[in-house]
């Protein structure tokens, strides 16, 4: 069930491939409606929503997911270091027990999955279902590969940490005391600029209800993030 070394090394490319397949359903059925539109129609048929309120409700879910995902990933990267987040190799210099890592062990993976809810609105229904399931499974596979590596490298301190802190679903209260690490917000925002670009796009232009425009904004955000990688400071 756990990811292979190849999957971990190329995890960012695999994420992009999964998203691409989700959107590629349009190539098979060019007339397929977006999950956003079809979801709004479904809510309309319940009699609880008007078409306008249903569309706004789904957009709000997308914005909330994109913002929550961007914030979780940035918060985690502020303590873990963006150079480590983007690296193709696993790292285990020590147990990180500050910031979001006091509430859950894998904020970056949860943040990515929440972000996927926003992108899923722009995909055809079957593409959205495939993407949400595939990203979820892939995240679990990555976690199951990474945690044994950290257990083997860090030993009992990491085992004790895992016994207290939930894997994916965050605790309401911090489960461990902070270690006093300093958050590095600048490099964190730079490293997660793609996620903030998507979140900002949904919040700013989502109200135009133009899925094609939002898709272009996603691509621009991805392009900017690839350029920004060159400016991410190396780990000290």
Tell me the pLDDT band of 18, cut-offs 50, 70 and 90: very high
Average pLDDT in the 49-67 region? 97
Question: Residues of the chain with pLDDT > 90: what percent?
Answer: 78
Q: What is the pLDDT of residues 187-203, one digit of tens each?
A: 999 999 999 999 999 99
pLDDT at 181: 86
pLDDT at 127: 96
pLDDT at 229: 86
pLDDT at 231: 84
pLDDT at 88: 65
Tell me the pLDDT band of 57, cut-offs 50, 70 and 90: very high
Q: What is the pLDDT of residues 149-184, one digit of tens each?
A: 999 988 898 999 999 999 999 999 999 988 888 999
pLDDT at 38: 95
pLDDT at 82: 82
Answer whether residue 236 shows pLDDT above 60: no
Nearest-angstrom CA–CA distance, 210 and 206: 7
pLDDT at 32: 87
The answer for residues whose C-beta is within 8 angstroms of residue 209's C-beta and 6 or more apart is: 55, 59
Tell me the pLDDT band of 71, cut-offs 50, 70 and 90: very high
pLDDT at 39: 96
Average pLDDT in the 49-69 region? 97
Average pLDDT in the 215-231 region? 94
Across the chain, what does the average pLDDT equal? 92
pTM beyond 0.85: the answer is yes
Q: What is the pLDDT of residues 92-149, one digit of tens each?
A: 667 888 999 999 999 999 999 999 999 999 999 999 999 999 999 999 999 999 999 9
CA distances (Å), origin 35, targets 12, 32, 42, 115, 232: 24, 9, 10, 15, 35
């Amino acid at each position: 069930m756990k990811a292979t070394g190849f999957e971990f090394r190329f995890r960012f490319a695999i994420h992009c491939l999964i998203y691409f397949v989700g959107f590629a359903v349009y190539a098979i059925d060019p007339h397929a409606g977006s999950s956003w539109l079809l979801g709004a129609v479904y809510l309309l048929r319940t009699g609880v929503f008007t078409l306008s309120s249903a569309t706004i409700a789904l957009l709000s879910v997308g914005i909330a997911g994109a913002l929550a995902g961007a914030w979780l990933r940035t918060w985690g990267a502020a303590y873990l270091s963006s150079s480590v987040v983007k690296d193709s190799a696993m790292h285990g210099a020590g147990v990180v027990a500050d910031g979001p890592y006091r509430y859950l062990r894998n904020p970056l993976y949860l943040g990515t999955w929440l972000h996927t809810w926003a992108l899923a609105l722009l995909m055809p229904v079957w593409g959205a279902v495939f993407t949400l399931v595939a990203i979820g499974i892939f995240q679990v596979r990555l976690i199951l590969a990474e945690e044994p590596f950290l257990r083997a490298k860090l030993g009992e301190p990491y085992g004790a940490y895992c016994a207290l802190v939930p894997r994916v679903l965050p605790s309401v209260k911090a489960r461990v005391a902070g270690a006093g690490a300093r958050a590095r917000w600048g490099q964190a925002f730079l490293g997660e600029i793609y996620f903030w670009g998507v979140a900002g796009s949904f919040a700013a232009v989502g109200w135009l209800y133009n899925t094609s425009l939002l898709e272009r904004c996603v691509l621009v955000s991805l392009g900017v993030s690839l350029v920004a990688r060159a400016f991410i400071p190396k780990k000290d």
